[in-house]
Amino acid sequence: MALSLRQFWSIGREQRYDPWAPRSVQWFTSVFGPLGLHSRVRAGHVLNAIKGADLPQNPRILDAGCGHGLVLFWLASHRAVSQLRGVEKSSQLAAANEAISHQLDLPTSATFEQGDLVTMNLGRDEFDLVVSIDVLEHIDDDVHVLKKLRRALKPDGLLVLHLPLRHQQQCRLLPGFEGHTIDSHVRDEYLPDEIESKLEVSGFQMTKLGYGFGWSGELAFELNNLFWRDPTLRAICALLTYPLAWMLAFHDVNAELQQGNSMVIEAKPQTGKAE
């Protein structure tokens, strides 16, 4: 149940209403979507997992560490839901998401808030679906957060994670990306067995392991981030390579990948193991 070309194109276009974005960025986003393709590929793989999931009608959904809210905004316009809740540590991103939500005139059941997943309280058995995209690798006590997400899920709920594969295992394609790392990662990302073990300790059973950022997604990312150490050159090259990178990104989201630089994980609560 992969996203259609039109559905993929629509991911992130609501960012044209970001009140802090320059007018030129707002115009580009209104036509093409965000210039940065990495977040759209991640969101696309997660949305594919959601489309294929057996969820109740009008589910309650939490995005834990929602960033720019790409998944929740897309769901708000493409699926009937009873609640969409986005939690984001960055106060500016949370405020931007709230402003965008008002511009789109979303129902009051769609909310965005500033909060730290490590310290904030989440209700018990509240959500049918919890999504978290490239968040756990930024948190020292990731098991603690996974236990909180387990508590927030209904007994028959679903957790969907997108996580980067350990960078030493990732396949880079263009010169200059071999040493590419993210300074804010507190660990060397994840291996499949490692995250499965952490899920089990947290009260989950991993039910599906898929991949993202195969050769086409990785090439799209690298074209989109040439000269990644120089923001100005990076933006210029991203504009020049955008048409090709966009099509490569769309191909990645629609491909049946046997391996890739990221993991798309689905997990269900284990009975009797809620924290």
CA-CA distance, 21 to 172, in Å (whole number)? 31
pLDDT tens, N- to C-terminus, the chain (275 residues): 789 999 999 999 999 999 999 999 999 999 999 999 999 999 999 999 999 999 999 999 999 999 999 999 999 999 989 999 999 999 999 999 999 999 999 987 899 999 999 999 999 999 999 999 999 999 999 999 999 999 999 999 999 999 999 999 999 999 989 878 889 999 999 999 999 999 999 999 999 999 999 999 999 999 999 998 899 999 999 999 999 999 999 999 999 999 999 999 999 999 865 55
For the chain, domain boundaries: 5-268
CA-CA distance, 228 to 223, in Å (whole number)? 10
The type of residue at 259 is: Q
H helix runs in the chain, sequence order: 5-10, 23-32, 38-51, 70-78, 91-103, 142-152, 192-201, 215-224, 231-254
Answer yes or no: CATH 3.40.50.150 is held by domain 5-268.
yes
